[in-house]
Amino acid sequence: MGALNIAVIGTGYIGGEHIKAIAAHPTAQLHTICSTPRSESIAENLAATYHAKKVDTAYQNVLQDPDVDLLYLCTPNSQHWNQAVAALNAGKHVFVEKPLAVTVAECQKIVEAARGSDKQVMVGHGARFSNIFETIHKLVKDNTLGEACFVEGDYVHDLKPFLPLPGHDWWMDPDKEGQLPIIGGACHPLDLMRWIAGEIVEVSAYGVNKNIPDAPWYDTVISNLKFESGAVGKCLVSCGAEIPYNMNFSYHGTKGSIVKNKLFLGGIPHVEDFMELPIQIPPEDHTCAEELDHFLTCIETGNPPLIDAVDGARSVAVCCAIIESIESGGPARVFLDF
């Protein structure tokens, strides 16, 4: 298979990161950068810097371009479902930056379109490609840590400095985008918990709005989680707390535990404290290059990607159950039947 022609839709921060990764990849061709008319000058600058062949401001033109093989959707979350469905119907492979969509119904439409297509869909839950989380996944899957009894994940990212920036106005549109800190923030640790510890089947959550009172969503949310295995868990997301960026993860099993990069294994004589794994944890770990390399390999071999449409949909479904629980004041079941 020759180099695939890739079109990136969206020129925000994460779109720029994917553009860099695509331009540097030996078997990918950055073909088109598509933006809104408002951001056309940004797209032109990116195209000049990273040698894209074309710039366009009409998504329909990209869909109709026979030279484009793969679309990267780096657009507002509420646009993902119709853009992904249209791309699959147009015969394109699709990479959807996380989350897959905003609602369960939107996710279902993408899943159905993917099932009716011979093209691949991958969701950009990039944390799965981070060194520390790949290591934890292996320690769980090879039974080094045993069965889970308690799993927790935190996503703490102060959005206050970002809200006034150009292009972020859609963050404050709850009618279209829903509860952004949950859909777009909590999805990080929730997806990791699903991948490492198995499906989450029920949640019970509370939300407050203390740090960004003008925001139309809960800026801090705590959720209790019940896993299909019987394990329990906790997820914290805060998009306004006055602390540095944090994405923490811990797994406590029947044979051992890991907290971030600190490992403890039971049954080893004289070991009474954690051992620190020699794995650096960067403040924010964008794994765009690793995601791209994995997806291109899947397209070439026909193997399903690590995070396909169903997998991405189930992470959104947990987020939606958390929102339902907060609003109802009681526990909520997670929809898994995609």
Does 249 have pLDDT greater than 90?
Answer: yes
Q: What are the residue ranges spanned by the domains of the chain? A: 4-125+288-308, 128-280+316-333
Are the C-beta atoms of 200 and 190 separated by less than 8 Å? yes
CA triple 199-108-136, angle to 5 deg: 30
Q: What are phi and psi of 14, to 5 degrees?
A: -70, -30
Q: What are phi and psi of 314, to 5 degrees?
A: -70, -30
Class of CATH domain 4-125+288-308? alpha beta
Q: How far is CA 298 from CA 23, 94, 122, 245, in A?
A: 19, 12, 10, 32
C-alpha span between 290 and 312 (Å, rounded): 18
Asked whether the domain spanning 128-280+316-333 has the same topology as the one spanning 4-125+288-308, the reply is no
**Percentage of the chain exceeding pLDDT 70:** 100
pLDDT in tens, 169-193: 999 999 999 999 999 999 999 999 9
pLDDT in tens, 100-132: 999 999 999 999 999 999 999 999 999 999 999
Beta strands 220-227 and 232-238 are: antiparallel
Beta strands 93-97 and 121-124 are: parallel
- Which tokens in the block code for residue 76? 């507002």
As a whole number, mean pLDDT of residues 266-281 equals 92
C-alpha span between 292 and 300 (Å, rounded): 12
CATH (one of 3.65.10.10, 1.20.1280.50, 3.90.1150.200, 3.30.360.10) for 128-280+316-333:
3.30.360.10
As a whole number, mean pLDDT of residues 246-273 equals 95
- Split at pLDDT 50, 70, 90, the class of 1 is low
pLDDT at 3: 87
pLDDT in tens, 184-217: 999 999 999 999 999 999 999 999 999 999 999 9
pLDDT at 154: 96
Beta strands 28-34 and 121-124 are: unpaired
- Split at pLDDT 50, 70, 90, the class of 91 is very high
As a whole number, mean pLDDT of residues 247-253 equals 96
Return the bridge partners of 5, or none.
Answer: 29
- Which tokens in the block code for residue 211? 């740090």
